[in-house]
Every structure is written in structure tokens, then in C-alpha cells.
Amino acid sequence: MGTDRPRVFLFDIDGTLLHGGGLSVESYCSAFTHIFGEPYSIRAVDCSGRTDPWIVRAVLRHYGLTEFAEDGSILEEIFRHFLTAMRAMVDAGYQAEVLPGVREALDFLGSTPGVTRALLTGNLKEGARLKLQAAELLQYFGEESFALGAFGSDHHERERLAAIALDRLRHALGDSLQARDVWIVGDSIHDISCARAAGFRVLAVASGSTPRAELADKNPDILIDALDVGIFRRILHM
């Protein structure tokens, strides 16, 4: 089966493709300890659907370090330590949990002509790579897919990532690519608002921390409990 026109699926990572467990929490804890001498926790803020730069700023404000929240050089230093800590955990064999149906869906999309798989995630680009590596999902997202899509390292507001991704996709696939043929696949209300910001459609999956009813309130095009091949077959016929 192929498609009559190009279709793009932009996947969120956390809560959609995998559960990272303590990977981010522990890596940030290590970075904050290194820089501030305190093991600040990103669990102090609601991280779901947010970008890494948004999360770090919110955490700094939460702990009363407001003056650092807009300090680009401090943020860069935090990210550098964060990525180093995460790389060490992944290299030591840390395993992230792949969510049900994910491999089958990614295999199916990868074998369907005319379909592009890429990422739209709040993770920093390098953090995204490490999380996918920890879940043994990196083989589904090659260098070419990392050049498409958008990451938390592109902008701190998730809604802004959609326009960035659309620019990259049209550059790669042609200006005739319709925004409505781009689907965001994500588990938070911010994936939904991000999709709406660029006219993308959205497949919401209630496999993360956001309750199904809360996702339903935001009127995603499709809402499911877990990814499977069938839902992608259905979308390709739409």
C-alpha cells in the first residue's frame, strides 16, 4: 500500500514512543547538582508536552533562581551537563520502555511508500537521540529524519515548533506538501495545540501522563489508548 500524496507523521517521544523512566529526571538532577550544588528535580513542574528549555526555566523559577531562568549561558551549561549525564546513563546500559504497538507502527510506516517519519518533540535534539537509543528505537529515525521535524533545541515554546517543522518538511518534500497531510502523534494537550498552530492534524494517544478525558477536551482528530498499525492504515485512507 502506498499513498496518493506525501504524508508525514511527526512523533512526540516521551509518553508516545517510550517511557524514559528516570532518564531525564536523574540527568537534570546531576546537572543541577554540578552547577548549583543542589539536586533540583524537574518533577517539581508539570513537564508533559513541554520543551526542555521551558522545563529548565520553570524549574529554576520554582526554586527561586529566577535570575538564571533567562540567562542563556547558564541554560547552555545546564544542557551540556544534562546531556553528558544522560549519555553516561545510556552508555552504561540504561533501558527506556518502548510503549505497546510502537515498533509495529514504525515498521509499517517505514515500509509504506510516500510516508515520512520524523520527530516533533520538546527534547533537545541530542537528548531525543539518546532516549531513542535507550529504547532501541534509533534505527527508525535516521539522520535524514533528524534533519526534518523540530526539537526543544529549536525553540522553548512547543507551539512554535510546528512552523519550524513545516518549513523543513517543505524544503525536503516540496512546497506542495499540505499542512493537513502532516500528523502529529503525541500524548499531551500541548501536542494538540502545537499541531493546531500549523494546521497539522493530530493523533492523540492516551499512553502518557495526561488522562484520556483531558485529551478529548482538546478535540484531537483521533484519540486512541495505544498505537497500532490499524490506526495508521485508517489515516492513510483519509
Closest CB to Mg ion among residues 112, 145: 145
Site stretch for Mg ion (CB under 5 A), options 82-90, 140-148, 183-191, 193-201? 183-191
Residue 234 Cβ vs Mg ion, minimum distance, rounded to whole Å? 22
Residue 73 Cβ vs Mg ion, minimum distance, rounded to whole Å? 28
Near Mg ion in 194-233, by CB under 5 A: none
Q: How far apart are CA 226 and CA 207, in angstroms?
A: 6
Q: How far apart are CA 233 and CA 104, in angstroms?
A: 12
Q: Please pick, from the candidates 26, 52, 181, 187, the single residue that binds Mg ion as defined by CB under 5 A.
A: 187
- What Rg value do the Cα atoms of the chain yield, rounded? 17
Residue closest to Mg ion, measured at CB: 15
Of 63, 65, 85, the C-alpha closest to 74 is 65
SS3 of 81-141: HHHHHHHHHHHCCCCCEECCCHHHHHHHHHCCCCEEEEEECCCCHHHHHHHHHHCCCHHHC
Closest CB to Mg ion among residues 55, 236: 55
Residue 101 Cβ vs Mg ion, minimum distance, rounded to whole Å? 16
Residue 188 Cβ vs Mg ion, minimum distance, rounded to whole Å? 5
Closest CB to Mg ion among residues 15, 53: 15
Locate 184 and state its grid cell: 502529529
Is residue 52 part of the contact set for Mg ion (CB under 5 A)?
A: no
Near Mg ion in 12-51, by CB under 5 A: 12, 14-15
Of 235, 157, 177, 179, the C-alpha closest to 203 is 235
Helix (H), strand (E) at residue 171: helix 158-173
Residue 207 Cβ vs Mg ion, minimum distance, rounded to whole Å? 9
The answer to whether 119 touches 149, Cβ cutoff 8 Å, is yes
Closest CB to Mg ion among residues 14, 181: 14
Closest CB to Mg ion among residues 35, 231: 231
Residue 189 Cβ vs Mg ion, minimum distance, rounded to whole Å? 10
The answer to whether 186 touches 12, Cβ cutoff 8 Å, is yes
- Number of residues in contact with Mg ion under rule CB under 5 A: 5
For residue 165, CA distances in Å to 88, 147, 157, 169, 214 come to 30, 9, 13, 6, 26
Locate 67 and state its grid cell: 535570575
Site stretch for Mg ion (CB under 5 A), options 8-16, 32-40, 61-69, 99-107? 8-16
Residue 13 Cβ vs Mg ion, minimum distance, rounded to whole Å? 7
Q: Which residues form the interface with Mg ion (CB under 5 A)? A: 12, 14-15, 187-188
